């Protein structure tokens, strides 16, 4: 447990430094493999003008680059806050073995970072969501999936 707290303190310190230095939102994340920090980052949304540059996503990108892989099996992520839906999805897609978090999504909402509307939207049918969506060129798009299924040299992920 002591090592877990050490890595979580690093994530928390990244979140604090983000606020102190004006680098972005109060979030930090650290990815560890075999007891060694592979990557760490704070939230970079405002300094990169990238709404997907949350701490967890930024850290996943750095870890994948450093390890030269698109899967982070064998790694653990420590995040200063329970991830938003996007980050949680990225954590699942990266196949991290385990996640530790400090603040909750309720804590985040109270600090002005409320993701409840996204969770609510996901429960709605496409027709009832706030983001207007319309399917077009379905048949044309299916060709890429057919090509993928037939491709014997594809790299599955």
Active site residues: 56
Cα distance between residue 116 and residue 105, in whole Å = 9
Using DSSP's 3-state secondary structure scheme, residue 114 falls into coil
Cα distance between residue 128 and residue 131, in whole Å = 9
Q: Angle, nearest 10°, between helix axes 2-21 and 55-67?
A: 120
Cα distance between residue 129 and residue 127, in whole Å = 6
CB atoms within 10 A of CB 138: 7
Contact between 84 and 115 under an 8 Å Cβ cutoff? The reply is yes
């Amino acid at each position: 447990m002591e090592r877990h707290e050490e890595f979580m303190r690093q994530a928390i310190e990244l979140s604090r430094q983000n606020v102190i230095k004006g680098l972005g939102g109060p979030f930090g994340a650290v990815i560890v493999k075999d007891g060694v920090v592979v990557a760490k980052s704070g939230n970079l949304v405002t300094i990169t003008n990238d709404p997907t540059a949350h701490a967890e996503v930024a850290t996943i990108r750095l870890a994948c680059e450093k390890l030269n892989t698109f899967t982070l099996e064998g790694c653990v992520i420590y995040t200063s806050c329970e991830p938003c839906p996007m980050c949680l999805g990225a954590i699942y897609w990266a196949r991290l073995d385990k996640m530790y978090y400090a603040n909750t999504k309720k804590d985040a909402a109270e600090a002005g970072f409320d993701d409840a509307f996204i969770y609510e939207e996901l429960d709605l049918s496409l027709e009832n969501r706030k983001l207007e969506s319309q399917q077009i060129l379905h048949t044309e798009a299916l060709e890429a999936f057919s090509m993928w299924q037939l491709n014997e040299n594809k790299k599955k992920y």
